[in-house]
Amino acid sequence: MRRPQPRLFKGFRDVFAADIFAKQRIVDVVRTVYERYGFLPLETPSIEFVDVLGKFLPESNTPEGGIFAFRNPELGPNVPADDPNAWLALRYDLTASLARVVAAYAELKRPFRRYQMGYAWRMEKPGPGRFREFLQFDFDSVGVSGMAADAEACCVICDAFEALGFARGDYVVKVNNRKIIQGVLERCGFTELDITAADSRAGTVVRAMDKLERLGMDGVRELLGAGRRDATSDFTEGAQLDTAQIERIEEYLSAKVGSRTAFCDSVAKLVAGSLLGEEGVAELRQNDELLSALGYSEERVVFDPSIIRGMSYYTGPVYEGVLTREIVDEDGQVKQFGSVFGGGRYDNLVERFTGQKVPATGASVGVDRLAEAAKLLPQSRAARGCTADVLVTVMDKQRLADYFAMAQALRAAGINTELFLGSGGIGAQMKYADKLGIPLALIAGGDEFAAGVWQVKDLRLGRELSAQVESREEWRKGQPAQQSVPAGEVIEKIKASLQ
Amino acid sequence: MRRPQPRLFKGFRDVFAADIFAKQRIVDVVRTVYERYGFLPLETPSIEFVDVLGKFLPESNTPEGGIFAFRNPELGPNVPADDPNAWLALRYDLTASLARVVAAYAELKRPFRRYQMGYAWRMEKPGPGRFREFLQFDFDSVGVSGMAADAEACCVICDAFEALGFARGDYVVKVNNRKIIQGVLERCGFTELDITAADSRAGTVVRAMDKLERLGMDGVRELLGAGRRDATSDFTEGAQLDTAQIERIEEYLSAKVGSRTAFCDSVAKLVAGSLLGEEGVAELRQNDELLSALGYSEERVVFDPSIIRGMSYYTGPVYEGVLTREIVDEDGQVKQFGSVFGGGRYDNLVERFTGQKVPATGASVGVDRLAEAAKLLPQSRAARGCTADVLVTVMDKQRLADYFAMAQALRAAGINTELFLGSGGIGAQMKYADKLGIPLALIAGGDEFAAGVWQVKDLRLGRELSAQVESREEWRKGQPAQQSVPAGEVIEKIKASLQ
């Protein structure tokens, strides 16, 4: 029999203690903020019918494209592929399932405001920091038509950043409105305004606009015109716009000005005459008014013409929470994390199921990326590698019950304690504690049991001192980090050492 | 275009606020207990190669049987089905992935003690309380050969039950050792002792033994002999044992006696002469000694011959944490929850990958079932349906910014606050707060803004009073649950009301 290789599928990964502690902190803080705004938790299945999920991923057109889809194992192999029950898939986000819930449970009070944390899966090309399985943590308000819900979403994102320890100025929420983009296209002479359909000309234009940050204005101009040849000589077909059209779009993309009202004024001119575009500007103005009244100024929330978002279900306001602070990692590398929150308004998603319009808006945070960034904040506690505060070592296997009893006594006192259960002498056990970063160790052999004492060893102090002393021998002689403590005082001593 | 039905795949479900709060509490408490013993968190992917997961589910023999398997979407359709990379699957438990991690990362210090929470999926027949997607929360020690690790696992389970609010006597940990079962079979004349292989005679015998609780001793006797015809006339082939063999197994299954040492003494006689069986008894005796030294008496941990466990990878000690307390639900129905923790020792699981034996032991808790039980404990806080403590109602849409500002001020003071973002008048908003169970509401219209006050309405009190008063009109007149509070004192007033 061939042995299986202990391998991972591409784009998937194992996560160890320090990264999980960082992630757990994000989850706890973000949940607190979501609950502060009264959102309710919801959980939905990881697996849904493909037609329930819909095909809202950027540039995906087949059941398998972009998602993990598989045949319904309850139906035989002869079910036609276009049977609505033929295909199941792992969810690619949490929003499609939210829309299903709203459509399915008539008894849900509106507005239905829920938060949901869960994994999502996409069959995309993985890369550094880009995985095929990722944790999302969403909040959404369903059944809300006013801009107050979108303004609130911006506040939630700001509050979450600050609750996580990011200072004002370390982050910014960038807001735009897709109706404005559609208005610009309408003024360019477009009649088909479905800006995210993979095969529409409007879609090609918007995808070109979305590349502003990566390619700069020159690159976008090429993609809007005849096309662009990249460094590897690959040619991307352009949208074939004429000069006047390209200039109008360039003008829109350049409307990045200091104040939100100035942005509204300048794009208002560009979309004047387009009903959709004017509606978009009016919505942005309402958003601005509410945010300003609450003191969420341009320091925290800006309007930005380049925010488009990939998902095709967004119908109006779109927003991103962006980490603007450059963070230096342990190796001195400057890291940029960019957009970590993303969301917007999707007024048609429930309608897919019911035929009735149900306005909705909300956003999602990429927990893993945010955790990676938060871990690097200078004020964040050094990453722990372990949960135990004490390792009870085992010197004499005959007295296992005594070591075990000490460990239980410490646990009963609320101290996280590991009893060494592996094999190896006291040296190996110390190395084990050291590798994991356990701060304290308890040691007792025949002499100690006879005298009714335990050796309490402070491994943190040991690590500090061993960095100072010249030789291992010199260090061993002194043992300044080790103290003999009467059995009855061990718990007190350990509590004091951990403070 | 046909509208998709907002339906769920069979065996999957949506979970709403009250159940999630109950589950969250279980997760937090169980994590605290696992960390108390020094276990480290780990996360592994939901999707693994099928050969990595292995086929350890009870009675499953095909890649698809019992699990959600699908073809690797990165390989073309022409890859032969027996290519090790041809099949992926959703994990059916967390243990197989743990073994992969131990095999893959040579640098991991042993013992490797990890906890992991995650969903697992099984393509099995769903039923009431039986879902195809379920949350598991495991703890395991890898690289530990001594029985101290198994005894510790029993302590962890007891501590978790008690930390969750179950009293001593409400639960019991039942322990057995598969080597003893194998010893009994050996003494019955069996030479093939693989007790969990679906197609082995030993497997048939053990599956019959496993049905003791459901069918009683008579049913088991039929299954051990010629076979059994059930109420629906379906016939199950028996193991065809002779009378002497059946009697020996019956004697073993009856060895349920009060004390752990008495159990060991009585099964020792039954397996005398079988090396494997004697080893199993010796292991149980060590387990008993440690547990007794720590004060984990028969009140908490018993030895039970009927504990077998389904997974075929267990090699020695097996244990279950069982809720013995009958809990009465809101409808007066008595509910039995049975086994919620399950685990054991699996010394061969890493060997599958590396060829080297790595002893390991650990257990898993079914979070959903435990949450359902904990929710029904009389001392548990009444299930909340919401996160918000206050609903800020919107009477005058022109003053939205003022309502919004009040909501932000409450949030800044640490009070979970929802601003009503839907449509509908004050009556609809009150109904909304009532349906969700939000305790307080803030109301202000033109008069209040002019006078600089807010109406603070206590909906809990309203609910109590409305149960007492005769008519809705009488209730409306009095409004004893509503108070006018100066704007500057609202936060104080609300804090006081919530205490």
| Placement of tokens 């230096």 in the chain | A328
**pLDDT tens, residue by residue, B8-50:** 999 999 999 989 999 999 999 999 999 999 999 999 999 999 9
Mutate to test the interface with B, among A27, A36, A494 (most CBs of B within 10 A): A36
Mutate to test the interface with A, among B12, B43, B121, B296 (most CBs of A within 10 A): B43
A17 and B24 within 8 Å at the Cβ level: the answer is no
**Pairing relation of β-strands B171-177 and B301-303?**
parallel
CA-based nearest residue to A457, from A396, A389, A400, A403: A389
Which residues of chain B neighbour A386 with C-beta distances below 8 Å? 38, 40
CA of B121, closest CA in chain A: separation in Å? 10
pLDDT at A380: 54
Find the helix packing angle between B275-293 and A400-412, rounded to 10°: 50
Which residues of chain A neighbour B367 with C-beta distances below 8 Å? none
What is the C-alpha to C-alpha distance for residues B288 and B302, in angstroms, rounded to an integer? 9
DSSP H or E segment with residue A434? helix A426-436
Give the residue on A whose Cα is nearest the Cα of B15. Answer: A43
What is the C-alpha to C-alpha distance for residues B458 and B433, in angstroms, rounded to an integer? 11
pLDDT at B258: 79
Task: Estimate to the nearest angstrom the gap between the alpha carbon of A142 and the chain centroid.
Answer: 22
B4 and A52 within 8 Å at the Cβ level: the answer is yes
The phi-psi region of residue A355 (left if phi > 0; otherwise alpha if psi is between -120 and 50; otherwise beta) is left
Residue B303 reports pLDDT greater than 60:
yes
Q: Which of A13, A14, A141 sits opposite B421 (nearest CB)?
A: A141
B7 and A104 within 8 Å at the Cβ level: the answer is yes
Which residues of chain B neighbour A7 with C-beta distances below 8 Å? 49, 52, 100, 104
CA-based nearest residue to B297, from B381, B165, B457, B172: B172
Q: Which of B35, B40, B73 sits opposite A64 (nearest CB)?
A: B73
Least-confidence region, from A199-208, A271-280, B168-177, B417-426? A199-208
Give the residue on A whose Cα is nearest the Cα of B85. Answer: A9
What is the C-alpha to C-alpha distance for residues A321 and A160, in angstroms, rounded to an integer? 10
Count Cβ neighbours within 10 Å for each residue of B60-79 and write b for 16 or more, e otherwise.
Answer: beebeebbbbbbbeeeeeee
Which residues of chain A neighbour B420 with C-beta distances below 8 Å? 111
Give the residue on A whose Cα is nearest the Cα of B24. Answer: A41
Q: Which of B24, B144, B417 sits opposite A38 (nearest CB)?
A: B417
Query: So what's the ipTM on this one?
Result: 0.89
What is the C-alpha to C-alpha distance for residues A346 and A382, in angstroms, rounded to an integer? 40
Task: Estimate to the nearest angstrom the gap between the alpha carbon of A211 and the chain centroid.
Answer: 22
Q: How many helices, marked H, and strands, marked E, lie in chain A?
A: 18, 20
Residues A67 and A123: beta-carbon distance below 8 Å: yes
What is the C-alpha to C-alpha distance for residues B287 and B124, in angstroms, rounded to an integer? 35
| HSE of B202, CA atoms in CB hemisphere, 13 A | 21
The DSSP symbol for A201 reads H
> Which sequence spans correspond to the domains of chain B?
390-498
B387 and A110 within 8 Å at the Cβ level: the answer is no
Which residues of chain A neighbour B36 with C-beta distances below 8 Å? 411, 414-417
Residue B288 CB partners (closer than 8 Å, separation 6+) = B260, B261, B264, B303
CA of A254, closest CA in chain B: separation in Å? 31
Which residues of chain A neighbour B347 with C-beta distances below 8 Å? none
The DSSP symbol for B168 reads T
pLDDT at B361: 97
Tell me how many residue pairs between chain A and chain B have CB atoms under 8 A apart.
292
What is the C-alpha to C-alpha distance for residues A494 and A440, in angstroms, rounded to an integer? 8
Whether residue B359 is preceded by a cis peptide bond, meaning omega within 30 degrees of 0, is: no
What is the C-alpha to C-alpha distance for residues B457 and B482, in angstroms, rounded to an integer? 4
pLDDT at A336: 83
| Placement of tokens 């019959």 in the chain | B208
CA of A194, closest CA in chain B: separation in Å? 17
Quickly count: other Cβ atoms within 10 Å of residue B155's Cβ.
24
Count Cβ neighbours within 10 Å for each residue of A425-453 and write b for 16 or more, e otherwise.
Answer: eeeebbebbbebbbbbbbbbeeebeeeeb
Give the residue on B whose Cα is nearest the Cα of A420. Answer: B111
- Residues written for chain B: 499
pLDDT at B383: 58
**pLDDT tens, residue by residue, B49-83:** 999 998 776 655 556 668 998 889 888 778 887 88
CA of A408, closest CA in chain B: separation in Å? 8
CA of A110, closest CA in chain B: separation in Å? 7
The phi-psi region of residue B453 (left if phi > 0; otherwise alpha if psi is between -120 and 50; otherwise beta) is beta
Helix (H, G, I), strand (E, B) or coil at B166: coil
The DSSP symbol for A241 reads -
CA-based nearest residue to B352, from A5, A3, A7, A1: A3
Which residues of chain B neighbour A99 with C-beta distances below 8 Å? 6
Alpha helical stretches, state H, B37-177? 50-53, 95-104, 148-163
B3 and A405 within 8 Å at the Cβ level: the answer is no
Which parts of chain A register pLDDT below 50?
Answer: 381-382, 469, 471-472, 475
* Cα distances (angstroms) measured from residue B227 to each of A237, B199, B203, B239: 72, 16, 15, 7
What is the C-alpha to C-alpha distance for residues B421 and A154, in angstroms, rounded to an integer? 15
- Percent of residues, chain B, with pLDDT higher than 90: 70
B6 and A101 within 8 Å at the Cβ level: the answer is yes
Helix (H, G, I), strand (E, B) or coil at B142: strand
* Amino acid, single-letter form, for residue A369: R
Give phi and psi for A139, each to the nearest 5: -135, 140
Which residues of chain B neighbour A148 with C-beta distances below 8 Å? 400, 404, 419, 421
Which has more pLDDT, A309 or B150? B150
Which residues of chain B neighbour A22 with C-beta distances below 8 Å? none
Rg (CA), chain B: 29
A419 and B148 within 8 Å at the Cβ level: the answer is yes
**pLDDT tens, residue by residue, B190-224:** 988 887 776 788 888 988 998 888 899 999 999 99
DSSP H or E segment with residue A268? helix A260-271
The DSSP symbol for B259 reads S
Which residues of chain A neighbour B104 with C-beta distances below 8 Å? 6-8, 14
Which residues of chain A neighbour B105 with C-beta distances below 8 Å? 14
A123 and B73 within 8 Å at the Cβ level: the answer is yes
A148 and B4 within 8 Å at the Cβ level: the answer is no
pLDDT band of B343, cuts 50, 70, 90? very high
Q: Is B99 exposed, middle or buried (0-12, 13-18, 19+ CB in 10 A)?
A: buried
The DSSP symbol for B127 reads B
The highest-level CATH class for domain A390-498 is alpha beta
Mutate to test the interface with A, among B107, B141, B347, B421 (most CBs of A within 10 A): B421
CA of B209, closest CA in chain A: separation in Å? 31
Q: Which of A24, A74, A103 sits opposite B10 (nearest CB)?
A: A74
Mutate to test the interface with B, among A12, A43, A90 (most CBs of B within 10 A): A43
The phi-psi region of residue B324 (left if phi > 0; otherwise alpha if psi is between -120 and 50; otherwise beta) is alpha
Strands in B168-221 per DSSP E: 171-177
* Cα distances (angstroms) measured from residue A64 to each of A135, B1, B78, B91, B209: 21, 20, 17, 20, 45
pLDDT at A475: 45
CA-based nearest residue to A138, from A367, A317, A368: A367
Residues A103 and A48: beta-carbon distance below 8 Å: no
Give the residue on A whose Cα is nearest the Cα of B432. Answer: A109
Least-confidence region, from A266-275, B248-257, B336-345, B443-452? B248-257
Q: What is the DSSP string of B317-358?
A: EEEEEEE-S-EE-TTS-EE--EEEEEEEE-TTTTHHHHSS--
pLDDT at B396: 94
Which residues of chain A neighbour B83 with C-beta distances below 8 Å? none
pLDDT at B472: 46
A21 and B41 within 8 Å at the Cβ level: the answer is yes
CA of B120, closest CA in chain A: separation in Å? 10
Q: Which of A20, A48, A421 sits opposite B152 (nearest CB)?
A: A421
What is the C-alpha to C-alpha distance for residues A480 and B435, in angstroms, rounded to an integer? 64
What is the C-alpha to C-alpha distance for residues A52 and B329, in angstroms, rounded to an integer? 34
CA-based nearest residue to B316, from B98, B91, B149: B149
The DSSP symbol for A301 reads E
CATH number of A17-46+91-375: 3.30.930.10
Which residues of chain A neighbour B111 with C-beta distances below 8 Å? 420-422
Cα dihedral angle (B488, B494, B497, B499), rounded to 10 degrees?
A: -120
Mutate to test the interface with B, among A421, A430, A434, A498 (most CBs of B within 10 A): A421
Joined tokens for residue A428? 């190996």
Mutate to test the interface with B, among A40, A49, A132, A417 (most CBs of B within 10 A): A40
What is the C-alpha to C-alpha distance for residues B227 and A390, in angstroms, rounded to an integer? 56
Rg (CA), chain A: 29
Q: What is the DSSP string of B400-455?
A: HHHHHHHHHHHHHTT--EEE--S-S-HHHHHHHHHHHT--EEEE--HHHHHHTEEE
B3 and A49 within 8 Å at the Cβ level: the answer is no
